[in-house]
A and B are shown apart, each in its own frame.
Chain A
Amino acid sequence: MKRLTLIVAILGASITLLAQTTTLTGTVLDQRKRPISGASVSIKDSYDGTSTDSLGQFRFTTTETGNHTLSITYTGYKAWEQPVNLAGAPLSFAVQLKEDQNELTAVVITAGSFEASDIKRATALKPLDIVTTASANADVAAAMRTLPGTQQVGESAELFVRGGEGFETRQFIDGTTVPNPFFGQAPNIASRGRFSPFLFKGTVFSTGGYSALYGQALSSALILESIDLPERSAASASLSPIFASGQYQHLAKDKKSSWGGSAGYTFLGPYFKIIRQRPDYFQAPQIFSSDANFRIKTSATGMLKFFGSYANQQLGLRNPDIDQTQLKNAFSLNNDNIYTNLAYRERLANRLKLQAGLSYALNRDNIAQAVQDGNNQPVTSGLPWYVAAKNFGLNSRSTLVQARSVLEYKLTGLSGIKAGGEYWYSKDRSSFNGRTAQITDHYSSVFAEADVYLSNRLAGRAGLRAEHSSLLNATNLAPRASLAYKLGGSAQLTADYGIFYQKPQSQFLLLQQDLPQMRADHYILTYQKIAVNQVFRMQLFHKGYKQLLKTWPDTSASGNGYARGFELFWRDKISLKNFDYWITYSYLDTKRDYLNFPYSMQPNFAANHTANLVVKRFFTKMKTQFNLNYQFATGRPYYNLAFSSTEQKWTVQDAGKTIAFNNLSVSVNYLTNIGKAFGVIVFSMNNVLNSKQVFGYNYSFDGSNKVAVVPPANRFVFLGIFLSWGTDRTQDAINNNL
């Protein structure tokens, strides 16, 4: 009986407990005391709760009793929790939610870069943009030439950034450097990049002030991230009058690994027959290229990727000799290039990530030039020394082996630390007219970098890179720093600083090794405003050059220079319906005293004003995209530097400025189905307006003959078709289900 009473008593007690209600009220504000509406307020693990109203206020009652947790959450803010004792007495709360630091709302450490990826917010160019930029013909570097800070140097494929020479921009794939990113080049005729933009999912183009993780580039870094596993197995082919190629990618059934490869053949012979070239090509450019890859998902967070490519390239052309116009210079090039890259990444522990890479690269050039007579027969005797010197043979071979690893440790929020090291083994051998020289360098570096987010508005980055070159017997410390402050809305202000070192080019090191590294100091101030479909960016920069290589009066590191200017970038995808366009303007003031310059001068690759207009529009009904690109640059300086035997020094015999550079390019992409393949037909034309383009002038030895450096043809026209077959037969699957 006693027991029964007890049970009844307990039951009774629980009934009263059940009947008891507690009222909870409160206000939810953000850090700046503005109300947050729509925040979720709840008693954890119960149904009871509510949402805040437009004033950030809430009120609800609960039948729960005893000790519980009150939880308040809202997207973009850190969750707020507090223990509460529900005993019937009303409870009131005044809550301030802290902004959660995430990539969408936080200030961005841009380090002077333009990012091109689908994922990140601070994007200027996306991978697809590279392919649809009219002037670029799907060349990564050429597409970057529509961004501010780059020069229009039509006679080279390289990127000339902010008063820097082409070699001052370095390309990296998955962290390791690509020593020869471009195909071999005949004098003053631009080649193009070796790698298709479709190999990469992300591109970061930094025109200065970049991270301590990268080195050996005085001016700029083009950081490419290769794609992971493909979406599906697919075959593709491309065909045009100048090339044919095929590619296959196989994705394993369990979607954890893939392999693939491609082969291509390029030959410009027929094209040169239709569109006349100024040089007389006895061997039209011919390229055989191939590559292979595999990618393995080693765990939920691990990925191993291999990419390897081989290409052979040949070309040969004749130009009139500048000193004796009845003679010709016959130039020929045979190039072999191997590039391989093995990249591995894994999350080692909760906050710890590893990125490692191994790379092997080999480049072999076989270059010869012969002085020929009117019947294309070699002339070796009876020539003045300055003409005879144009008979030469150059065989060079360079090898680069790299190993690199970076550890990344995440602190709270977005803050984190990266540290790592790399080692490059390089061997260059060069044989000029039978005289051979060889250099070997062990270059190593260690680096560390910390990103510190003090709040959602203020972030800083500090990095340090230590480099040692055994060949130069030089050790250098390169500090880097960035500070980013969010002004409100989507606008932010960034300041970047850094010291950058680069070894002199191997053609100089082959002759002399006791040289220090060249040095550039960057100071950059950036204002940017990024909305979803609009980007505005303004940059001010100053770059100081020290220890540049001088070749006169003797080879030394006594050169110096500066570059300063400002740049504007505006991209807009919404104001004009269906149009996507961007406009850039770059102002550059630069002078340098290097090589055989008699004094500090504006180098011949630098124009003061450069502008770009890129417009794209897709017509859905016509399944066609039209792209247009107008590039403009003011004239570049040119000099006739001649050695005066009376004064015993180099002097400027003649100088001037070229005419302004104008280039209107258009391209059309038409999407279609051919059989079971998805196809894109591409037509493009550079210099549609047939503007005269002069890149500079060459002078004869005595200075009496002055010849303009012009493109090999006024226009480049391209027509091609790109086909792809997805082997998962998406469409078949859909139709079968009907």
Chain B
Amino acid sequence: MKKMLLLMMSAGLLLAAHAQNEKYVGYMKKTLAQLDSATTPDALQQVANSFERIANAEKGEWQPGYYGAYALVMKAFYMQELKEVDATCDKADAMLALAESIAGMKNSEILTLKSMVLTARMRVDGSRGMTMGPKATQLLQQALQGQPASNPRAMVQMAQMLFYTPPAFGGGKEAGIEWLKKGIAAYETFKPATELDPTWGKPYAEGLLQQWTAGK
């Protein structure tokens, strides 16, 4: 009887854990679908809120914080009110810090997104490029050396960083296009570690290549 009870209890625990994980994956998938269809700053804020709720409930998972920050960075890129960009970026940085405390400092996806937050902040004032540009590049270099290796998102970000930086400051269009092509090739072979890990960015990169090489 005792054994049976023990067995039942452990089975129950396992089941509960499995159910919990299923619930997490289910919620994440649902919210990721919402993220895919969110194109306005308001919609992105709502998705960010949803991810934040999941992040607060699941203290052992880095992906909710990561996607929450991603939604906020996108909002920061789209929003009209420049004076609110910094506050939105502050929030994104806070969520990334939380994600990094779970995933470690060498997570290539998080480092890439941190660099994107800086790029968004440069919208507020062009002269920030002097100090924030090198920092963003440094983060991307760390991202390229981090895990997962051959991260296409880090490569495409590096491509954009180079493309829009004048050669005098160490950038260049040719180098940008080269990195973009490398990034697109990396999308072909990239395999996310879990089904919730980031896979976004391929269509954008392909569109970018068309735009950059048009008329050549």
Taking Cβ atoms with an 8 Å cutoff, the residues of A that contact B are 3, 7, 37-42, 44-51, 54, 75-76, 102, 104, 118, 126, 128, 231-232, 490, 531-533, 573, 620, 623, 671-673, 678, 730-731, 733-735, 737-738
Contacts and interface: CB of A to CB of B under 8 A. Distances in A.
A734 B158 contact: yes
B169 A231 contact: no
Given A75-B91, A738-B175, 4 more contacts: A7-B8, A37-B42, A75-B88, A730-B170
In the A-B complex, the 3 residue pairs with the closest CB atoms: A40-B49, A671-B168, A38-B45
A104 B124 CA distance: 13
A532 B88 contact: no
Contacts of A51: 45-46, 49-50
Contacts of A54: 42
B65 to A, nearest CB: 14
A128 B127 contact: yes
Interface in B88-103: 88, 90-91
A490 B83 CA distance: 10
A678 B169 contact: yes
A573 B52 CA distance: 36
B5 interface: yes
A531 B141 contact: no
Nearest to A54: B42
B137 interface: yes
Nearest to B168: A671
B130 to A, nearest CB: 6
A49 B49 CA distance: 9
12 contacts: A3-B1, A39-B49, A51-B45, A54-B42, A75-B84, A75-B87, A231-B135, A672-B168, A673-B168, A678-B168, A734-B141, A735-B175
Contacts of B42: 37-38, 54
A532 B125 contact: yes
B133 to A, nearest CB: 11
Given A3-B5, A128-B127, A730-B134, A45 B45 contact: no
Nearest to B164: A620
Interface of B: 1, 5, 8, 23, 27, 42, 45-46, 48-50, 52-54, 56-57, 82-84, 86-88, 90-91, 124-128, 130-131, 134-135, 137-138, 141, 144, 158, 162, 166-170, 175, 178-179, 182
Contacts of B137: 730
Contacts of B50: 49, 51
B128 to A, nearest CB: 7
A673 B167 contact: yes
B171 to A, nearest CB: 9
Given A3-B5, A75-B88, A49 B53 contact: yes
Nearest to B86: A104
Contacts of A231: 131, 134-135, 138
Contacts of A45: 56-57
B134 A46 contact: no
Nearest to B132: A118
Contacts of A738: 175, 178-179, 182
A46 B24 CA distance: 10
A185 B131 CA distance: 36
Nearest to A45: B57
A38 B42 CA distance: 6
Contact of A42 (B56, B134, B166): B56
A47 B53 contact: yes
A576 B75 CA distance: 27
Contact of B130 (A39, A48, A50, A128): A128
Contacts of B5: 3, 7
B170 A733 contact: no
Contact of B124 (A49, A490, A532): A532
A76 B87 contact: yes
B175 A734 contact: yes
B83 A531 contact: yes
A128 B127 CA distance: 8
Contacts of A731: 170
B130 A46 contact: no
B57 A623 contact: no
Nearest to A100: B87
Contacts of B138: 231, 730
Contacts of A737: 144
Contacts of B162: 734
A48 B53 contact: yes
A126 B87 contact: no
Contacts of B52: 40, 42
Contact of B49 (A7, A38, A46, A573): A38
Given A40-B52, A104-B86, A47 B182 contact: no
A734 B171 CA distance: 10
A449 B14 CA distance: 61
A118 B133 CA distance: 13
B211 to A, nearest CB: 18
Nearest to B31: A47
Nearest to A49: B53
B57 A46 contact: yes
B167 A532 contact: no
Most chain A CB inside 10 Å of its own CB: which residue of B27, B53, B137, B178? B53
Contact of B166 (A671, A730, A733): A671
Contacts of B127: 118, 126, 128
Contacts of B87: 75-76, 102, 104
A332 to B, nearest CB: 42
A734 B87 CA distance: 32
Contacts of A48: 53
A675 to B, nearest CB: 13
Contacts of A46: 53, 57
Contacts of B167: 623, 673
Contact of B83 (A75, A104, A623, A673): A104
Contacts of B135: 231
Nearest to A731: B170
A531 B85 CA distance: 13
Contact of A671 (B82, B83, B169): B169
Contacts of A44: 56
Contacts of B170: 678, 730-731, 734
Interface centre among A42, A620, A623 (most CB of B within 10 A): A42
B57 A533 contact: no
Given A47-B53, A47-B54, A47-B57, A620 B45 contact: no
B148 to A, nearest CB: 16
